[in-house]
Amino acid sequence: AKADGGDDFRYYREGAEERAREFVSKTSEIRAGIRRREFAPYFQPIVDAVTGSVEKFEVLARWKHPTRGVLGPAEFIGVAERSGLIGDLSHILLEEAAREMSGLCDRVQRRLVITFNLSARQLRQEMIANHLLQVVIDNGLAANQVVFEITESTIMDDPPTTRRILEELRGYGFRILLDDFGTGYSSLNYLRRLPVDGLKIDRSFVARVADDVTDAAIVKAILAVARELRLRVVAEGIEEEQQAECLRRYGCDQLQGFLFAKPMPGEELEHYLTETAER
């Protein structure tokens, strides 16, 4: 780059224009995908740490793209949030997830639960709680069969509104889980102030819980606080048996990760449940 920075500026500007163009085209592609209902829920089992039984599934968004195959959230959630399409996208996902799960409950004669990720924008929307309740009930689930996962970044912007919405949601019988716990700046502070029922220990701590004394200490401390506050704890991103063993030993309630199962489409859930019941 030249000393006067002229080239740097041009590079920067071209980069910015390029990114802006990409954002606009991605946005219209997502809008079309929503219209064509190409977005679908995948489900990842959450396993009871002690009994190994499964009653909960996290809903994870996938895009059945007409030419590029099945795409993960990294390809579209960020743009959907920034362009304001996340509400419509999330609506389709929740509708579909509730419909599939209520069908499954009927077939296997069990009361199953979904956990569903909400983004910051949704938790600032007036009437969102009522809207979510309507979608869930219209598609055959009860509010107490749905847990909403929120992250610290979701709540950072606007705590008073968010608090009110979370309280409304809980009033309807939904539960709230604080996701990616431990990765933010003031996780413990949020625990004290927000109406939540549980937390999910972030994958970054789980990764080395079996070989790193510091990470093990952090995980134990989180579990101790949670126990004191009577919060349910899920650990995510479990890939190895040693990690599961550690978390079980430390008193974690529920486990989730590739060790147990990868996220799968709704059609595979019944088969999965019968398989795991026989094990």
Question: Interface residues with ligand C2E (CB under 6 A)?
Answer: 44, 60-61, 72-73, 77, 90, 93, 117, 119, 179-180, 236-239, 257-258, 263
Q: Nearest approach, Cβ of 80 to ligand C2E (angstroms)?
A: 8
Nearest-angstrom CA–CA distance, 140 and 135? 9
At 120 the three-state DSSP class reads: helix
Let me know: does 144 contact 169? Beta carbons within 8 Å.
Answer: no
Minimum distance of Ca ion from residue 202's CB (angstroms): 6
Nearer to ligand C2E, 108 or 203 (CB): 203
> Min. distance of Cβ 17 from ligand C2E in angstroms?
28
Q: Is 100 in the site for Ca ion (CB under 5 A)?
A: no
Site string for Ca ion, 114-153 (x = CB under 5 A): ---x-------------------------------x----
Total number of residues that touch Ca ion (CB under 5 A)? 4
CA–CA distance, 260 with 238 (Å, rounded to integer):
8
Distances (CA, A) of 68 to 62, 63, 72, 81, 232: 12, 9, 11, 21, 38
Report the alpha-carbon distance of residue 253 to residue 201 in Å, rounded: 11
- Residue 73 interacts, among Ca ion, ligand C2E, none and using kind-specific CB cut-offs from 5 to 8 Å, with ligand C2E
CA atoms within 13 A of residue 192's CA, in its CB half-sphere: 4
Per CB under 5 A, does 253 bind Ca ion?
A: no
Least separation in angstroms between residue 233's CB and ligand C2E is 15
Q: How far is the CB of 120 from ligand C2E (least distance, A)?
A: 9
Q: Considering CB distances under 5 to 8 angstroms, the limit depending on partner class, which of ligand C2E, Ca ion, none binds residue 239?
A: ligand C2E
Torsion region of 66: left, alpha or beta (phi above 0 gives left; psi -120 to 50 gives alpha): alpha
Q: How far is residue 136's CA from residue 175's CA, in Å, rounded to a whole number?
A: 13
